[in-house]
Structure 1
Amino acid sequence: MGADCRNVYGPDAKHAVFPNLFSDEAIEKYGIDVGKQIIYSAVGNRIEAVTSSARALEGGRSTFNLLNETQHWIETNGGHAMALTIAGNLAKSRGGGARSMEITNAPLPGEDSVAERTYHAWAKLHEKDPETPRRAGVYYDSVEAPAIKDLSDRDALEAGIIAARGDATWLDVDWIISTIYAGTYPAYQSRRMFLNQLVSDDDSLISPTAWDACQTDETLRKGDRITLGFDGGKTDDATALVAMRLSDRLVQPIGIWEAPNNSPEWEVPRDQVIDAVHHAFAEYNVVGFFADVALWEAEVESWSEEYRARLLVKASGKSTVGRDMRSGLAEITQANERLVAAVESGMVKHTGHHTLRRHVMNAKRKINRFGVSFTKEHRESKRKVDGYAAMLLADLARHNLVESGKLKRPRSGRVWGFGG
């Protein structure tokens, strides 16, 4: 165990954690008194349970830290401060060999718990290269039930519970099912607690279950006929360029750029974004491109001039590419409702891109006089939705092109259809 200590952190650490950490055999063999707050070994090591005083713990040199139930660690109960203190203490440990481990149920997206932050940090690393988290010393393991669209499907629910419980075979599947069907918990809480699924709250636009059910192993191929959607930021907001294949609504981000760790000093790498646009036109058969003009007016005008001849549908009456999302609320609302319905009915496919998934999960419903549009949780929120906005514009471009009838009319000796 080393010469220092191992800490167990959590709201119930002092009284409820230790009895569950040691088997009866270990308690008898080592003479452990699980009722104590600090347990000492014969060679001077110790295990200590602590609760929520981040300042009191600062500077501690524990060799192993167990963070319990981090889905409940939020800013208002001191969870963020505690996590920062633990991370700082680990970084200052002698020899650099200290470790931490989080034990958590699936966090509630949008609550900004420590568990949710950890998941997003891992997802960003994994998105760049699946081996990056491992090389960085970050390990993530989650046993989740597969997507279940309807909890009333008892066979699917039973299979999901068995999958999620893993080797915890003592859990009573019939009892869990009866609890779910009793209506004690909202559906999203049942999914989170019993199926270990990352689920959204009732204000979310698209449920994780519906989105995850649309994932496919397919990716875009060179020459595919696509539409593009673009939503740009400058510093605080993310910037996203998303493609949608015309034939089957397969969604694949070309690029999503956002500030690392919400750094206030970061700016969108405009050159990279511009290069990505040109690369998309070189790689694929782009027949529609709708780009929000805000903060990118000059670039959007340049794209419109350069690619006007290749595009079969105009984004607005004023521009082939430029589409101001601050206007045309009725069209955007109808497009949003159409896209959400398509996701829920499995008519959209996506490649499982982690950042796009996070942006989709961050999107909230916004009611207006025309129906249901989308928004982020509040104006200053750091939870970005720009990837969803870009996807919506790509889908709107596809829809308008299909409705225009131009795909059926010959052009330059060719017949324009949905095929590759």
Structure 2
Amino acid sequence: MPWVPQHEGDFPTLGWHVADQMAEYLGRPDAGDDDVFDPFILTLEQQEFLNELYRIDPSTGRRLIHRAALIRPRGWGKSPFVAGIMISEAIFEVVPDGWDSEGQPVGKPWSKVRTPYVAIAAVTEEQTKNTWEPLLEMLRQGDAVDEFDLDPMDSFVSLRRGRIQPITSSPNSIKGFKAVAASLDQTETWVRGNGGVKLAQTLRNNATKLGGVTIETPNAYTLGERSVAEASFGFWDDIQSGKYKNLEDVRSIYFDHRPAPADTRIDDMESLVYGLRVAFGDSSAHADGCLLHEPPCAPGWSDVHRTAMDFFDTANDPAVMRADFLNQVDAARDAYVSDPEMRACVDAGRDKTVSRTEPVTLGFDGSEGRKDKHIADATVLIGYSVTQRHFFTIGIWEQPDGPQGEGWRPPKLEIEQAVAKAFKEYNVVGFYADPSAGWAGEVKQWEAAHHKRLKAKMSVQEPIRWKQKDIGRTCDTFDQLYSQIRQGEVSFDGNPTVLRHFLNARRDPRRAGYVLKKADDNQDYGKIDATYGAAFAFAAGNDALGKGVTASSTTRMPRQLR
């Protein structure tokens, strides 16, 4: 019998069944009284994650998600929740086994398929305790030990077949341990230097071979540290941008990250408490309940007012507090912008549209394509509404991954058509472009074709060509643009590739200020070209304002003669 939906928006999942098994057999850690069984009951927010994790493809009857990440602030309850999931993978009915007489999914344990090995992974033994200690407590307080014939010892849990075991990045701890499920804790600290990158790859490869699952539980990471968490977020951003739209396997990735609003002010108690309530979700102990659901869930266990007070303690690093409790991604020390700053600008531009009559400027940064074995820079064309102070993406051309990227060159004809279309569809009053990387000829052609309608000009003779030797102008432009971003005076259309380029950018000090560069240790993948395209458009917009272009009514689109 095929799956039968029970209501609009329904999807097949074993999540509800897994949650029922958790409540029946597992005790709540830190419950207090050892003599009274306190079942492990999920919040609605946790249940929603579980339902996604155990989502089933109705056409194949198989689990859809094989790699997940749950990013929440410290104190949200990630460790016991993920411990419960790892126990479930070891002994509960988590493998789809068809549909019942009512068309609803049923499951079977991994032991009916293969010997289940489950890994509680971290880069240090101390780190594994975050999940391992609540896992043991949940088993010892509940009925699972007797019902499933378990032996929860301090160093591993013996199953009838298989085991649950903490492992670290030590080669001896992972050798031959082919886990059907693995939790990867605090992956913001997993880097090449401590073996974390290799450990994550090994666990994922093993899960892929066996049809299992891995779950990352990082706190918000710091940009530029090249951690496992940062790489995972980068992959997720690529998926969201549509980069892998033809790759079926990306459907098996699920990331759940909810930071506080980007405009959360850590020097304002009301704004801060609201941001903490958003980040902590159902675990917030605020008297008004959660902000996620209607009606609100009952207050949880995390005292957001107490946490807010710690932000005002000058001994605490604000960046660390934002990452740990507001769940906001932190910037590298030399980063051009921070994630919250950019997210606030994206939020401000979410509903904006650009008309055919309002004055618009363009910024172009080109690439000549792949060199040697290195990945080519991107080619970008960015638009900027002068009156709305709003950036919008016209085109981004990046080298494809894999064999398709061999010998890649930017599609010049397509790019030239995009420029021509922009001049046709928008009231373009300025256009600045970097002529290097093989685009000098095209820039000359654009100048010849469009110089008469441009109000903003680099010079009379070369109205579009950005003067690369004028480092002072470049430094001033980047600094002015950052000031506008920081103050929320400009907005962005939310293009994920543009956002990624801005977050990749690093400040490169010069005598006149700074220009932008790629991270020193990420020259291939840390593209920043959209920052230059946006800066050129921004500079042209400022020059247009200086020429008196202040309203859409002052300049009209040229009428096409027939």
TM-score, shorter chain, exceeding 0.5: yes
Q: Does 1:106 align with 2:220?
A: yes
Helix, strand or coil for the counterpart of 2:309?
Answer: helix
Distance 1:83 1:9 in 2: 9
If asked which structure has higher relative contact order (CA below 8 Å, sep 6+), I would say: 1
C-alpha displacement of 1:136: 1.9
Q: Quote the Cα distance in structure 1 between the aligned partners of 2:521 and 2:215.
A: 34
* Conservation of the 8 A alpha-carbon contact between 2:382 and 2:395: yes
* Post-superposition offset of 1:408: 7.2
- The answer to whether the 8 Å contact 2:387/2:550 transfers is no
Is this contact kept in 1: 2:181–2:214, CA < 8 A? yes
Distance 1:112 1:25 in 2: 36
Residue in 1 that maps onto 2:120 = 8
1:416 corresponds to: 555
Which secondary structure state, in structure 2, belongs to the residue aligned with residue 139 of structure 1?
Answer: strand
Whichever residue aligns with residue 156 of structure 2, its letter is I
Which one has a bigger Cα radius of gyration? 2
* Higher mean C-alpha deviation, range 161-170 or range 132-141: 132-141
Say yes or no: does 1:230 pair with 2:348.
Answer: no
**2: distance between equivalents of 1:355 and 1:258?**
10
Q: Give me the whole-angstrom Cα distance separating, in 2, the residues matched to 1:262 and 1:333.
A: 36
Superposed counterparts of 1:20-419, under 5 Å: 20-21=134-135, 24=138, 27-31=141-145, 34-42=152-160, 44-53=161-170, 57=174, 60-93=177-210, 97-128=211-242, 136-148=251-263, 150-168=265-283, 169-215=300-346, 216-221=349-354, 223=356, 224-233=358-367, 234-235=369-370, 236-260=376-400, 265=406, 267-271=408-412, 272-295=414-437, 296-316=439-459, 318-324=461-467, 326-378=468-520, 381=523, 382-405=525-548, 407=549, 415-416=554-555
SS at match of 1:287: strand
Letter in 2 for 1:173: V
Instruction: Indicate the RMSD between aligned Cα atoms, in angstroms.
Output: 3.0
SS in 2 for 1:128: coil
Structure 2 vs 1, CA of residues 133 and 227 (structure 1 numbering), >3 Å: closer, same or farther? Answer: farther
Mark the CA change 1:357 to 1:61 in structure 2 (over 3 Å): closer, same or farther. same
Shift of 1:200: 0.9
Task: Report deviation, 1:68.
Answer: 1.1
Deviation of 1:15 (Å): 3.9
Q: Normalization by structure 1: what TM-score? A: 0.87
Counterpart residue type for residue 69 of structure 1: Q
Q: Which moved more, 1:201-210 or 1:20-29?
A: 20-29
Gaps of 5+ in 2: 1-89, 91-109, 284-299, 371-375, 558-562
1 CA distance for matches of 2:543 and 2:433?
Answer: 14
Aligned structure 1 segments of 4 or more residues deviating by more than 4 angstroms:
32-35, 129-135, 260-264
On the 8 A contact 1:257/1:268 being kept in 2, the answer is no
SS where residue 282 of structure 2 aligns? coil
User: Structure 1 residues 61 and 317 mapped into 2: Cα distance closer, same or farther (>3 Å)?
Assistant: farther
- CA shift for structure 1 position 71: 0.8
Deviations, residues 315-367 of structure 1 (Å, cap 9, x unaligned): 3454222214x311111122122111111222101122212112112222333
Query: Relative to structure 2, which stretch is displaced further, 277-286 or 381-390?
Result: 277-286
Flag the 1:4–1:127 CA change in 2: closer, same or farther, 3 A.
same
Q: Deviations for 1:1-50, whole angstroms, at most 9, x for unmatched residues?
A: 412312221134554422223554664412365553331223x0321221
Contact 2:455 2:547 in 1 (8 A): no
Indicate conservation of the 8 Å contact 1:133/1:139, yes or no: no
Change (3 A) 1:34 1:135: same
CA 1:20 to 1:183, structure 2 compared with 1: closer, same or farther past 3 Å?
farther
Counterpart AA for 2:319: Y
User: May I ask how many residue pairs the two structures share in their alignment?
Assistant: 409
Give deviations 1:141-189, integer Å, cap 9, x for gaps: 1121112353110111111112211223322323322322222332221
Q: In 2, Cα distance between the equivalents of 1:262 and 1:367?
A: 34
1:277-336 deviation digits (Å, cap 9, x = unpaired): 233223322221111111122222222223333322223454222214x31111112212
- The aligned amino acid for 1:121 is F
SS at match of 2:184: strand
Contact 2:517/2:528 (<8 A) preserved = yes
Cα contact 1:122–1:133 (8 A) shared by 2:
no
Q: 1:242-273 CA deviation, whole Å, 9 max, x = no partner?
A: 11112111111212233445988463432343
Change (3 A) 1:91 1:299: farther
Distance 1:58 1:265, change over 3 A: farther
CA–CA distance in structure 2, aligned partners of residues 378 and 209 of structure 1: 23
Gaps spanning 5+ residues in structure 1: where?
none
3-state secondary structure, aligned to 2:256: coil
Deviation at 1:219, TM superposition (A): 4.2
C-alpha distance in 2 between matches for 1:133 and 1:157: 40
Contact persistence 1:188–1:199 (CA under 8 A): yes
Native 8 Å contact 2:239 2:250 kept in 1: no
Distance 1:203 1:334 in 2: 17
Change (3 A) 1:229 1:186: same
Which one is further off, 293-302 or 211-220?
Answer: 211-220
Determine helix, strand or coil for the equivalent of 1:121.
Answer: helix
SS in structure 2 at match of 1:122: helix
Q: Distance in 1 between matches of 2:460 and 2:402?
A: 36
User: What amino acid sits opposite 1:242 in the alignment?
Assistant: I
Structure 1 residue 226, shift from structure 2 partner: 1.4
2:476 is paired with a residue whose SS is helix
C-alpha displacement of 1:198: 1.4
